Amino acid sequence: MKAFLKRLLVGDNEVREYPPIRIPGDIPEKVYLEMAGTMTHVSQNHWLLCIEPVIFGIWIKQDEREVSYERQEQYHLYFFDSADNARNKKKASAIVTLSFCDCIKEKNGMLLLLKVIKSNIYHLDFLRRYVLFSRCYKKNGLTFSKFKSFTAAYSYPRRIRLISFKQDDYYNIFPMDLLGNVNGSKRFVFGLRHTNVSLSRIIETGKLVVSEVSFNHKNTILELGKHHSSKPPSLDSLTFDLVPSKNFGFYLPDWINSYKEIKILETKNLGSHMLLWGEVLQENTLSEAGDNLFLIHFFEYLHQKNNGSAYLLA
């Protein structure tokens, strides 16, 4: 991109796809689910779980509404850049229209699985959105429609955690952001790509460990991302020491903050990804929590910076 055009479109910012950021406090963005005319706050209980098709998982408490959430004609997710703008639909930075796909029912609520029908994004004016897409993001057959879905999904920061697995002499450690814990419960949900070399083993054993990590280890975490679809490196070649999880004995980097040992209760094939629905069996803290590492879309990063609320790049 020519220097003049770049300055016009993004100023002095480096164009990225998903800038890694750190968040020292609470996440300022808010997300609401609209169904049957009612807005429900789901910021901490919604997760991107599949990218082909694009599917969100949204946890709804049993006592939140006395209506059926299943098989409604349409649902809408509204992404707001702050609590001040939340609920005012005209101030949404992204709006996603979804349809019912499936659900997992529990006594205290249900996990709705909703497929994206269309997305609208408002972080930048239309001309800048389309020129940036055409110049920087249009690759490998990515359509503008799909691009908008990904931009909307990452208009809310997605926390990166580490997954650990071990079976006999085999092990793997890799980062994920298509996952999340149900707030106030022992349930955890994961969206693992079918090309992940550990997926079949995880399903076979029904076990994995998820760890909270600090942004300080960003480079090592991103390097471990290469192990999703390739053979993990030998233990001797790792650049960090390992500690075992309490019950499973899975390998954990010695610099993690905390970890949860998970029992897989249910799986669902969503398309490009497999959903794993799990229960936390054991939780342990190893060190004081630091700022977590997140991914956010560049459009949301630029939008917040233009509003005077720039995120700290990790």
Tens of pLDDT along the chain (314 residues) come to 566 556 666 777 788 899 999 998 889 999 999 988 889 999 999 999 999 999 999 999 876 554 465 566 789 999 999 999 998 899 999 999 999 999 999 988 899 999 999 999 999 888 888 888 888 888 888 999 999 999 999 999 999 999 999 999 999 999 999 999 998 899 999 999 999 999 999 999 999 999 999 999 999 999 998 877 778 888 999 999 999 999 999 999 999 999 999 999 999 999 999 999 999 999 999 988 778 999 999 999 999 988 888 899 98
Cross-strand partners of 266: 277
Per-residue model confidence (pLDDT) at position 254: 96
Alpha-helical (H) ranges within 116-273 are 126-132, 144-153, 199-205, 218-224
- What phi and psi, each to the nearest 5 degrees, are found at residue 132? -65, -40
Q: How far apart are CA 296 and CA 19, in angstroms?
A: 6
What's the pLDDT score for residue 16? 85
User: Using an 8 Å Cβ cutoff, are 163 and 174 in contact?
Assistant: yes
* Cβ burial, residue 130 (10 Å; 0-12/13-18/19+): middle
Residues 6+ apart with CB under 8 A from 2: none
Domains present along the chain, CATH in parentheses: 3-141+150-157+296-313 (2.30.110), 158-294 (2.30.110.10)
Longest dimension (CA), the chain: 58
